[in-house]
Amino acid sequence: MLRRLTVIGMLAFLLLLPAAPAAAHGVSPTADLQLAQSFAGNELTVVIRRTPAVPGPLHVDVIAHDPVRPVTLQVSVRELEAQSSGVVRIDRLGMHSLRLGVTAAGAHELTLRVDDEVAVIPFRVLVPGPAGWEYFVYGGFAAAGLFTLGGIACAVVRRPGVRAFAVPQAALVAVAIIASGTTAVLSKDLPPAQPRGALDQPRAYADPADGSAPNGRPYANLTVQAANARTGEPFRLVLRVTDGNTGRPVDDVVAHHAALMHLVLTDQAGNEFRHAHPVRTGPGVYAIEHTARTPGRWFVHAEFERADSGSQLVTGSFSVSGRPLSAVKPTPAEVRLETTRAVAGRPITVTARVSVDGKPASDLQPWLGMAGHLVIRDRSGAYFGHVHELTSMAAAQGRDPAAVPDETVAAEGPDLRFTFSVPTPGRYVAWVQFARGFRIHTVPFQITVSEGQP
């Protein structure tokens, strides 16, 4: 009898187990969403804080990096017909805070506006809730308590017919304790609850009419428009991303290393470099303002991640007219670079040692979730690599999203290590980037890669 009841209890437990929640790619009910935005002449990081309950407040922090162009941001959040708005003045380095409101879980849009410039950030409000197995544990222990009271009552009653129920009551107590206790012990290995506001299933399954396969999205195409691009004059660079299967705008981009899109712009010789994050202005459309000092051909390398797929790299180019202008040289950071022997097809390690006034700097800030970044490109622009700092990359793997520090935490450095390999010999241009004092430091260098031994 006891064995049969135990089996029935465990089957009920299995039926109550929820399906694993859909991957959120940077959106979590227990973590903040950080997105870099190159907007209104500033390099900003927009932090959308997690929302524990709805209706409730939505806290938005905007982190400004050096140099700061003073602007007043009009910020609004929209969900269906409901909307909340406010303003924040960006006039100094560091964090600027704003409080908005949300009324429901699910899909939302955060809009930034300065005059006629607009950035639209899609995100989801996810509200944590209990998992099915939690109800089973608490219900099991509650049932055990009730069965215990029932068994005691049956045992003290003098009538033989009632007393006979004491033994089954004891068996039910044992079943409830065994089932709920076992579930509690195994709870760390059980799937978490599906938060309110999450997609019930991956989009590839929810909308098969879009031409996607269950195992991932197809490739994307990039079209680059740079009208009236002349040296020394700001121009608008528009990027249109379309699906390689359907030709429709790609509007399923998700947060990928704290940005919707990572954009690297370089002139053909590699004398000018910019790592920026264009803003989304509409479905599949991203834009950024840029000023070039070198005429000729420029390379575009854009990285992003589509929902239910891995990251993608798309490339393009545009031309800049005008005459060459002298380069703007920022104050150099105190960085000593060391590179292991560079051989094609073998791991190469670059170590950047950062110091301030001759002393090791241990107050570097994470940028885009990492202590540092290395971008490498060959002369033709055909080969492109984006490498994350080794120690912080290893620490990020398997880390609770809620434990990822934001850019106000200054505890990285002084050594930044990057390991990568290139397939062919030749000369490569490269740049190491890191943040300190809310300023992004960029250190250019070159690597000559020799032919490997057969």
Tokens of 97: 């805070």
DSSP-H helix ranges across 54-131: none
Cβ(434)–Cβ(388) under 8 Å?
Answer: no
Q: Are domains 33-125 and 208-320 of this chain identical in fold?
A: yes
CATH class of the domain at 334-449 = mainly beta
DSSP, collapsed to helix, strand or coil, labels residue 348 as strand
- Token pair for 305: 């991640």
**Residue 274: its pLDDT value, please?**
97
**Spatial distance between the Cα atoms of 97 and 74, rounded to a whole number of angstroms:** 13
The CA distance from 297 to 282, in Å, is: 27
pLDDT of amino acid 26: 38
**What pLDDT is attached to residue 159?**
59
Whether the pTM exceeds 0.95: the reply is no
- Mean per-residue pLDDT pooled into runs of 10, the chain (454 residues): 44 42 45 92 94 90 95 91 88 94 90 95 83 58 61 59 55 59 57 67 45 67 96 97 93 91 97 96 96 97 89 96 86 86 96 94 93 96 95 72 74 95 96 95 95 73
What is the separation of C-alpha 72 from the centre of its chain, rounded to a whole number of angstroms?
A: 26
| Cα-based angle 322, 325, 328 (whole degrees, multiple of 5) | 140
- Token readout for 347 is 């791991």
pLDDT at 366: 93
Question: Which two structure tokens, joined as six digits, stand for 46?
Answer: 């927009």
Domain 208-320 has CATH 3.90.1150.10: no
Grouping H, G, I as helix, E, B as strand and the rest as coil, residue 446 is: strand
Q: Specify the DSSP element, H or E, that contains 82.
A: strand 82-90
Sort 53 into a burial class: Cβ within 10 Å, 0-12 / 13-18 / 19+.
exposed
Show the CA angle centred on residue 279, arms to residues 60 and 215, nearest 5°. Answer: 95
Pairwise CA distance, residues 86 & 76, whole Å: 6
Name which CATH class applies to 33-125. Answer: mainly beta
Nearest to 375 by CA among 422, 336, 411: 422
User: CA of 234: how far to CAs of 17, 228, 265, 415, in Å?
Assistant: 56, 9, 14, 36
Q: Is 220 exposed, middle or buried, given 0-12, 13-18 or 19+ CB atoms closer than 10 A? A: buried
Residue 120 in tokens: 């639209």
Whole-number pLDDT of residue 53: 87
User: How many CA atoms lie less than 13 Å away from 151 in the CB half-sphere?
Assistant: 15
Q: Are 242 and 284 within 8 A, CB to CB? A: yes
Domain boundaries in the chain? Answer: 2-21+129-189, 33-125, 208-320, 334-449
Alpha carbon of 386 to those of 57, 133, 389: distances in Å?
A: 37, 42, 10
Q: Give the pLDDT of residue 206.
A: 41
* 85 residue type, one letter: S
